[in-house]
Structure 1
């Protein structure tokens, strides 16, 4: 077998392989003999068909089968001999071949770039937060708000109240399409209504009616109304104020605390917040590390990988019901760069995701669900999900390897600062 390689670009290769005529004839002959043993043709007993008849009947098909086998076999041998790592499947074209002739074919491939990953001299910040009692209190208060109910009151509506109303809108004397409703519930201050409409409802009691003129914002989501003025007639049918559940045994039981103890609830809330704090801290640290790797490496990028990432971005946008980002190709290039750099670090440093590391990743994912054991079992039995967990474990190992080679500064922050409720550096009065 003879192999010659030409480079169309740094990553695009044309591999021309010549398989000797003798090897072609040997493969064809072997396959014809197999056909002769199993062929069933009229006038001949099984296994007694003359070779000339077998060749006449099956020769063309057998030659193609032989070509396929020899191409597959020699292509992978050529890759190993030339130390090439292809991206995806090759484009194969047969240049010449036949009985008594050399088989000459060309495989056109893209290969992964050969480069040495760089870890630039840089610094990253590891933010960490202690969970305070006030953080536990705030979280429980959110839980109370989520379980609030409304009770009708005989007073004027104010912020936080739920108003039940009928409304009808018109524009230029004509009914506004989709601008009418009955028994429509709205929380004042909830942001679902236009500010002018909320302002008109505030201060009204049940039974009150009011006409109000509303100008739609220039960036209103229904373009045909943007910037235009409409008239609305409002009828208030009910005003109800929110009531929150007491923090007691019933409240704890409603949240799945089996013993109904408020202290057990607080302990579980604290553990969840601490787990979330660790997750966010690790995520932010990892994001900085990955950005360092992207900025510090500029390998040649296979066009096929970029195209695949663009397709993935398009699929993600479709599933989320959003527009494909205008900078989709730039984002794809960043993803491909990062994937290549991390894969090359893992390959060169012989980093592997150990079984216990994968198990830890699955356990951390499962902790976020109501039945962790069921989730862990599902991951173990699902090869695709297990593969994702292995990739996450390997990524964590690469990040840890990088962190040993950059400057890490620890920065204690409040829990609210860590989760983004409060800007870092803010001073509480």
Structure 2
């Protein structure tokens, strides 16, 4: 088999392949004889049809099958023979059968050869945050708010009150779809509505009606409403004030805490809350530092990656989003992949692929191996939040898939440590509440 390789672009290679005529003929003859054994042609018994007649009847189809099989089989032989580290499936551009044999061209993408620049010039910000007593008290209050009830009140509504009302929206006097509701309940200050909507209701009383002016955000998801000034007729039927539960025996029992002296009561609750908060802070800071380090490496190393890898990552991210939709809204049958075009994922997918290539190179260059002591420590840390830590530790230790996921996280942490060892690291103290706000913004 004759093969030549030409460079088409940075990551594209074209293979020019010629399969000898004898190999083509050999496969064609063998397939012709197999067909002859079972072919049914009027006037002949099965297996007794002359090959010339078989060739006349089936020759064209047999030849096309032989060509397809030979291209399928030899293209990977050619890739291996040329020592090409191909990515994705080859694209067959042209096929021809002539006196020399079977000739075709195959376009393949290759895995990029990457050199990671020194980390000396990188600057990474390490955030530091601690949980204080006031943060714990705020979290306990949040736990109470999550279990709050509402009682009817007289007088004007205020932030934190729950208001029940009817509303009807219009633009230039015309009602618009989705702009009306009956007996709608809203906690003022929750910021669930467009800017200005909730503020317009503050101060209204039960039985009061008024019209408020609200402008839809310029980037509102409904393009026909984006940036438009709308009027909403509001009719309030009920105002309720929030009532927080007392931190009593009934409340504490929700968190598995008894008021018995040896259980600690409210102090035990605060200790448990603090422990969970500190665990979340540690995880958040670790993820922030990892993103900072990886972003710095990406910015310092501009590389080209195969389109096939980006396409594969785009598909993976689309499927993940569809799964999330199914879990959130119940049933994937409501959604179609056409709702999620490639453009929605392309930038993120390209970033993910580039980062994966660079991090793989860092791991290879530094010969990093998974630190099993750190794996054990991470499993133990994860298990702390469960009722029976020993059961969780056993699960993660013995389940290969779960352990592999932990090992992947640990190896990423080791990569971060390796990057930071060479980079310039500046430390910035962040208030816990500010850290919480940043996390919510990133998730939103």
Normalised to the residue count of structure 2, the TM-score between the two structures is 0.71
Are positions 1:292 and 2:296 aligned together? yes
Once the two structures are superposed, what CA deviation does each residue of 1:141-168 show, in whole Å capped at 9, x if it has no partner? 1111111001123444433222334566
**1:188–1:202 CA contact under 8 A, matched in 2:** no
Q: Deviations over 1:46-103 (max 9, x none)?
A: 7x877777766665555444444443443223222322122211112454337x8522
Relative distance call for 1:259 and 1:155 in structure 2 (3 A) is same
Q: Distance in 1 between matches of 2:175 and 2:2?
A: 81
Q: Matched residues in 1 for 2:232 and 2:69: separation?
A: 77
Task: Answer with 170-179 or 332-341: which moved more.
Answer: 170-179
User: Is the 2:159–2:202 Cα contact (8 Å) retained in structure 1?
Assistant: no
Paired residues for 1:19-418 under 5 Å: 19-31=19-31, 39=38, 41=40, 44=45, 60-93=60-93, 95-97=95-97, 101-121=100-120, 122-166=122-166, 182-191=182-191, 195=196, 198=199, 201-202=202-203, 204=205, 206=206, 208-210=207-209, 212-217=210-215, 219=217, 228=229, 230=231, 232=233, 234=235, 236-255=236-255, 257=256, 262=265, 263-306=267-310, 331=348, 333-349=350-366, 392=409, 395-418=412-435
* Separation in structure 1 between the aligned mates of residue 423 and residue 365 of structure 2, nearest angstrom: 19
Q: Displacement of 1:15 after TM fit?
A: 0.5
Deviation (angstroms), 1:185 = 3.1
Shift of the alpha carbon at 1:416?
Answer: 2.8
- Whether the 8 Å CA contact 2:15–2:107 is kept in 1: the answer is yes
Shift, 1:186, TM fit = 3.5
**Matched positions, count:** 413
Question: Does the 8 Å CA contact 1:128/1:277 hold for their aligned counterparts?
Answer: no
Taking structure 1 as the reference length, the TM-score comes to 0.73
Listed as ranges, the gaps of 5+ residues in structure 2 are 326-334, 440-444
C-alpha spacing 1:323/1:367, structure 2 compared with 1 (3 Å): farther
Tell whether the 8 Å contact from 1:167 to 1:181 is kept in structure 2 after alignment: yes
How far apart are residue 283 of structure 1 and its match?
Answer: 1.0
Distance 1:177 1:225, change over 3 A: farther
Q: 1:363 to 1:132 in 2, by over 3 A?
A: same
**In 2: Cα distance, 1:238 partner to 1:352 partner:** 63
Counterpart secondary structure, 1:116:
coil
RMSD over equivalenced CA pairs, Å: 4.9
Secondary structure class of the residue paired with 1:298: coil
2:331 corresponding residue in structure 1 = none
